[in-house]
Structure 1
């Protein structure tokens, strides 16, 4: 069994020496190009893969069927240092860079994206605080994630406002030294199990107010009076992930728990996606890699017309398409993470990675079923679960269509400014 001490040593080493290998020094100095992970990243990858093989893969089907929240695995992951990987060392976390977190997310996604979504809910919920919260708020909310196996949630989406974050209607009215919040959220990952929420609410009643000034972000304890948790939703896939609606009825939040400045919550929420969309892409890459392995192994075992089906061009070409798009997704996902780690705006590459990796995962899962044939349509084989789990990647954290909007706007802006994309 993977020991917590082993992973702690590994993750600490990555945090301290994120660019210690010659390959990463080349990236840092812009003097070369290298597509290999450095030694620290590989050690982290080996450790996480061991955990995935021992703890996640043997239990994934069970949690999918029971739809039970994977608390046992969550607690083991916490003990092994696999949760809260980007929380700074100052607040008790390992302080890993985003590339390291992508390494982690890809491996967990290979094992089970439902369990992975539950685990990575803490990355999404804590990222806004890491980016913009005061030291006081960070100490109060981030440290508890490290000290105990508790979860948090990113409480932004509403019944009428998903990818259109600027359309949220939950209101927060400032009265004295606190805010009074009323409204409803929907599709909140970890909503029913979270210890605290990152919350985005409208603080400017003027419907014409620009998004950059109309919303304020908060950290709020999940057991605050007036918070009502809805029923666990039964979804197409990733069924062990806890997804619920959350209602706020006259919930009082101290003004000291504002994340960032009053009126700048939308900016905080958008900056968060630069760091979390690469993680979603990484999980999608992991699922596509799992589809590739399952389909390839079956193609080498199953025989028709006197030979293994892998020898039929129709099947071989399907496998070729899966691996091509998976490898391309992986390259862009790591590029998007590296952009953030190098201090650049990661929005453009994060959207490209998330869009392409999400679409690749869905296509890979569909093709995996095709390789399995009738067996792929049966619950005794892994293909159908991979297919069900894949679809959400095209929806959460911004649909594939929204990613295309982000990509095209930035592309056209670059061409307007430089007269060209390629030579800019």
Structure 2
């Protein structure tokens, strides 16, 4: 089926709205917040009022009644200016709210989704551990049923949106039993913030995404109701694989935005920067570098929109999502490197957005499935055993 990459009038209106917000609201503030490693609460509140956290959810749960393409459009436009803000939205929707929407009970949806869609509360998903991420068999966190409660013990690492002042819950994967062959049965369980025994560590000191909240979590005899189980017992990891498939489209859109932002900043700089009596953009070497950067961003955009269109249409999209994530994350790193080179010494100064983009780009080849994992998934879809 050929892809019509053109946006509908509604999607184009959304794109323009978020573009203006990113340039008028995010851009003037985020540099100082980033250098101080501060979470952008005011920006997040405004995003909530705009309905961005509710984009792909039905109106009956407080959402905007949009789709995953709409979410990707918003993420791309935000990431053209800043990735910390974009990943806060991506994680809040794809990891915080989407598991409840896809697998939660009606009671869980009614309790949590309106607040999550409004941006009043952020949700997080606790999957990764020091010895377990893609390797589900390495999960050490346990949840043992005691009457009408789960008792959770263990730890998680690299969890986004898990320790802000407005974080309301973390959905945690934990071993709740063993299969006949000895492999762990993993379930997903909601742990509200502030639950006794649930400890959130100080924020990590990171290379990039410095205005995004990322923390280590620990669970010491944490008790929550049995009703906090999300979906089927023992199906937690399988459910999260579905979440990751969709999330890769969102990360691809974010990566595309960063790649395009590098083009935006570099074109502007190349027209303004004078060397040897002329703008550096008059040099063919710079023009060719910019042409390559624009080509990469354009192709990455087609990739994530194709995957999103397949998801929205109810068609298989696993391979296309992996391709989009693999390619766009590579493109983001390549464009950030070239943008820094075009800016020269100024590209190494944090006052310039490309320095922030360079610091933010590398994690895109790691988070929500490394580039190696994407290649593995693509090869499997081609018929090769893992």
Normalised to the residue count of structure 1, the TM-score between the two structures is: 0.86
Q: CA deviation at 1:205?
A: 4.3
2:29 pairs with 1:59 = yes
2:168 pairs with 1:195 = yes
2:304 pairs with 1:333 = yes
Q: Is the 8 A contact 1:84 1:122 kept in 2?
A: no
Aligned to 2:117: 146
Of the structure 1 ranges 350-359 and 294-303, higher mean CA displacement relative to structure 2 is found in 294-303
Supply the distance in 2 between the matched residues of 1:207 and 1:395 (Cα, whole angstroms).
33
SS of 2:383's equivalent? helix
CA deviation profile, 1:350-380 (whole Å, cap 9, x unmatched): 1111111111101100000011111111223
Aligned to 2:18: 48
Q: Is the 8 A contact 2:27 2:82 kept in 1?
A: yes
Q: CA deviation at 1:33?
A: 4.8
CA deviation profile, 1:244-302 (whole Å, cap 9, x unmatched): 00001111121212111111111110011122111111111111111001111111222
2:161 pairs with 1:185 = no
Among 237, 247, 254, the residue aligned to 2:218: 247
Among 235, 239, 243, the residue aligned to 2:206: 235
2:227 pairs with 1:280 = no
Aligned to 1:136: 107
Runs of 4+ in 1 over 6 A off after TM superposition: none
Aligned to 1:99: 69
Q: Is the 8 A contact 1:274 1:340 kept in 2?
A: no
CA separation of 1:155/1:167 partners in 2, compared to 1, >3 Å: closer, same or farther? same
Aligned to 2:144: 173
CA separation of 1:33/1:382 partners in 2, compared to 1, >3 Å: closer, same or farther? closer
2:58 pairs with 1:85 = no
Among 292, 312, 317, the residue aligned to 2:288: 317
SS of 1:173's equivalent? strand
Q: CA deviation at 1:178?
A: 2.0
Q: Is the 8 A contact 1:274 1:350 kept in 2?
A: yes
Of the structure 1 ranges 314-323 and 70-79, higher mean CA displacement relative to structure 2 is found in 314-323
CA separation of 1:368/1:202 partners in 2, compared to 1, >3 Å: closer, same or farther? same
Aligned to 1:121: 91
Supply the distance in 1 between the matched residues of 2:282 and 2:137 (Cα, whole angstroms).
52
SS of 1:181's equivalent? strand
The alignment of Structure 1 onto Structure 2 pairs a total of residues equal to 382
Aligned to 1:74: 44
- Runs of 5+ consecutive residues of structure 2 not aligned to the other structure: none
CA separation of 1:54/1:165 partners in 2, compared to 1, >3 Å: closer, same or farther? farther
Aligned to 1:162: 133
Q: CA deviation at 1:207?
A: 9.9
Supply the distance in 1 between the matched residues of 2:202 and 2:338 (Cα, whole angstroms).
34
Q: CA deviation at 1:143?
A: 2.3
The 5-angstrom pairing of residues 274-313 of structure 1 reads 274-313=245-284
Q: Is the 8 A contact 1:287 1:361 kept in 2?
A: yes
Q: Is the 8 A contact 2:44 2:119 kept in 1?
A: no
Supply the distance in 2 between the matched residues of 1:209 and 1:322 (Cα, whole angstroms).
49
CA deviation profile, 1:137-192 (whole Å, cap 9, x unmatched): 11122122235611111111111223334422111112222211100000110111
SS of 2:316's equivalent? coil
The 5-angstrom pairing of residues 377-416 of structure 1 reads 377-413=348-384
Q: CA deviation at 1:113?
A: 0.5
Supply the distance in 2 between the matched residues of 1:343 and 1:69 (Cα, whole angstroms).
36
CA separation of 1:220/1:378 partners in 2, compared to 1, >3 Å: closer, same or farther? same
